[in-house]
Amino acid sequence: MHGYSRVYWGKKIIEGSSTHLDALDTMIHLHNRYALDGRDPNTYNTYANILWCFGLHDGPWAEREIFGAVRYMSLEGMRRKTDVDAYLQMQS
């Protein structure tokens, strides 16, 4: 899965979780269970990518409900940067 898509789904997990810690646990579980790069040494970079969803290596943004000062990502932004419809077609 493309990195931008991973971050988008991470942001959606944050939105749907009770706490940020619950969201982090869910993301780590999903990565460990389903990531194809699980035994690759570069997988350690994935933990940095997971934490990017929470603002690591990213400056603070305007306060928003649920996210606080963490950058928000929208479906409209995903559509501008990726071909969402082609990805969904490929999954069905």
Q: Which domains does the chain have, with CATH numbers?
A: 3-91 (1.10.579.10)
pLDDT given at position 26: 95
The confidence band for 2, taking pLDDT boundaries of 50, 70 and 90, is low
CA angle 66, 67, 73 (to 5 degrees): 115
CA–CA separation, 30 and 26 (whole Å) = 6
Long-range contacts of residues 19-22, Cβ cutoff 8 Å, at least 24 apart:
20/54
Flag whether the pTM goes above 0.85.
no
Question: Residue 60: CB partners within 8 Å, gap ≥ 6?
Answer: 69, 70
pLDDT given at position 56: 81
Whether residue 37 contacts residue 47, with contact meaning beta carbons closer than 8 Å, is answered with no
Which pLDDT tens digit goes with each residue over 39-81? 665 565 678 878 888 888 777 777 877 677 777 788 888 888 8
Whether residue 13 contacts residue 54, with contact meaning beta carbons closer than 8 Å, is answered with no
- Both tokens assigned to 87: 């990805």
pLDDT given at position 16: 92
Length of the chain: 92
Q: In this prediction, what percent of the chain has a pLDDT beyond 70?
A: 84
